[in-house]
């Protein structure tokens, strides 16, 4: 039976071109700064993002942590959304390892935080208060329907931050999905932020790796923090070689994933017992709700699993499906048939 794995775009496998590239990669010791493939990837990433420098790191989680630890001292505060990946799914790293306090404000359905809420969360100068240092954004916003944040919104947050002498970090794990969906140059999404990460290992299909980008001075400090966390990787060119292919060959095709997500969402909207907000579907991530009593949430997942369909339960009666390179339009149609059968069988 064919498995259609819609749990995440992290399940994507490297393409044959990536495997060939990593097999033949020119290698050296990256902790000495001597891995040619890693150096090349870092140059390409800096150029693409319009930043002075960048750093290959093992994961998005480590990238976000490196950025917070680089920007903030112990006891300082970070403003971020209550639905952000950095708050929900990064094991409290900034508090556990940095003594940094998250200050959570509401995410709107489109992944933004209102400028009023951000401004109200900025601490005044008072010895009782922690110092606010950083504002974090997420683009696309995973838990908020994979929504892309627009250049105008990011610029407005950056302007607010500058007024208060604060820094802005962008968790751009899926920033290429945002650029493709909005049809903007990626630099428009990054020009206002002091640091960002993006992932090679999600929709771009590389096996491992994320990039941290920022000023030369910031990356020099981030390099020390990566070492502290044990993220220096020696012959990391085997990862970087696949990452270069990801950036050169896998960006434009993300539009196919977005079209498949829309097809899937429109199909789900027609299935009795399932409910989806079609207006929210803009990239490769969709969320929908099981609104009938039967099947139960557990039965729903099990029965889909028996038909080869994997999806991610995300609390109460809500489920996530993510389209990616390993999912074809035929897979979408097969998924819709399976969903219809599961709902009709009950």
Q: How many residues bind ligand TLP (CB under 6 A)?
A: 14
Task: Compute the distance between CA of residue 74 and CA of residue 133 in angstroms, rounded to an integer.
Answer: 11
Distance CA 232, CA 38 (A): 12
- CB within 8 A of 46, min separation 6: which ones? 52, 53, 54, 213
Distances (CA, A) of 54 to 47, 48, 49, 247, 307: 9, 10, 9, 14, 43
| 173 makes contact with ligand TLP (CB under 6 A) | yes
Residue 171 binds ligand TLP (CB under 6 A): yes
State in angstroms the smallest separation of the CB of 241 from ligand TLP: 18
Interaction of residue 59 with ligand TLP, rule CB under 6 A: yes
Which residue number, 122 or 246, has a Cβ lying nearer to ligand TLP? 246
- Measuring CA to CA, how many Å separate 151 from each of 154, 171, 184, 192, 258? 5, 14, 8, 9, 19
- Cβ closer to ligand TLP: 236 or 343? 236
Shortest separation between residue 156's beta carbon and ligand TLP, angstroms = 21
61 lies in the binding site for ligand TLP (CB under 6 A) = yes
Residue 270: helix, strand or coil by DSSP? Answer: coil
Give the one residue of 4, 5, 6, 8 binding ligand TLP; rule: CB under 6 A: 8
5 binds ligand TLP (CB under 6 A): no
> What H or E segment, with its residue span, contains residue 326?
none
Q: Which residues partner with 226 through β-bridges?
A: none
At 197, which helix (H) or strand (E)?
strand 195-199
Q: Helices (H) and strands (E) in the chain — how many of each?
A: 14, 13
Segment contacting ligand TLP by CB under 6 A, of 55-63, 97-105, 212-220, 224-232: 55-63
- Rounded to the nearest whole angstrom, what is the least distance from the CB of residue 305 to ligand TLP in the complex? 18
Any contact of residue 78 with ligand TLP (CB under 6 A)?
Answer: no
Nearer to ligand TLP, 73 or 109 (CB): 109
Interactions with ligand TLP, residue window 83-102 (CB under 6 A): 85, 89
Which residue's CB comes closest to ligand TLP? 60
Single residue of 70, 142, 190, 205 touching ligand TLP by CB under 6 A: 142
CB 341 to ligand TLP: min, Å: 26
3-state secondary structure of 220: helix
Q: Which residues contact 228 (CB under 8 A, 6 or more apart)?
A: 69
Of the two residues 8 and 236, which places its CB atom closer to ligand TLP in the complex?
A: 8
Closer by beta carbon to ligand TLP, 122 or else 142: 142
Q: How many CA atoms lie within 13 A of 110 on its CB side?
A: 10
- Binding residues for ligand TLP, per CB under 6 A? 8, 10, 59-61, 85, 89, 138, 142, 171, 173, 199, 201, 210
């Amino acid at each position: 039976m064919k498995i259609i794995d819609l749990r995440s775009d992290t399940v994507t496998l490297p393409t044959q071109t990536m495997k060939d590239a990593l097999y033949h990669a020119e290698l050296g010791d990256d902790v000495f700064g001597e891995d040619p493939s890693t150096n090349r990837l870092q140059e390409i990433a800096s150029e693409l993002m319009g930043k002075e420098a960048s750093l290959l790191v093992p994961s998005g989680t480590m990238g976000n942590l490196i950025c917070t630890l680089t920007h903030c001292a112990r006891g300082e505060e970070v403003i971020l959304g209550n639905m952000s990946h950095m708050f929900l799914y990064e094991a409290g790293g900034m508090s556990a390892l940095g003594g940094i306090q998250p200050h959570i404000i509401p995410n709107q359905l489109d992944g933004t935080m209102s400028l009023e809420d951000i401004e109200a969360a900025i601490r005044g100068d008072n010895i009782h208060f922690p110092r606010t240092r950083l504002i974090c954004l997420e683009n696309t916003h995973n838990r908020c329907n994979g929504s892309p944040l627009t250049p105008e919104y990011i610029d407005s947050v950056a302007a607010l931050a500058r007024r208060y002498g604060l820094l802005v970090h962008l968790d751009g794990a899926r920033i290429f999905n945002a650029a493709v969906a909005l049809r903007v140059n990626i630099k428009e999404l990054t020009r206002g932020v002091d640091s960002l990460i993006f992932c090679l290992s999600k929709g771009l299909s590389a096996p491992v790796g994320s990039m941290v980008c920022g000023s030369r001075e910031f990356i020099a400090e981030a390099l020390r923090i990566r070492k502290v966390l044990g993220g220096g990787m020696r012959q990391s060119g085997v990862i970087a070689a696949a990452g270069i292919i990801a950036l050169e060959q896998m960006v434009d095709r993300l539009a196919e994933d977005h079209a498949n997500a829309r097809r899937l969402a429109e199909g789900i909207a027609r299935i009795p017992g399932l409910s989806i907000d079609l207006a929210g579907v803009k990239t490769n991530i969709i969320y929908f709700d099981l609104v009938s009593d039967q099947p139960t949430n557990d039965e729903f997942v099990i029965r889909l699993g028996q038909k080869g369909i994997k999806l991610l339960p995300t609390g109460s009666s809500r489920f996530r499906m993510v389209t990616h390179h390993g999912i074809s339009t035929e897979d979408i149609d097969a998924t819709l048939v399976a969903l219809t059968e599961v709902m009709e069988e009950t």
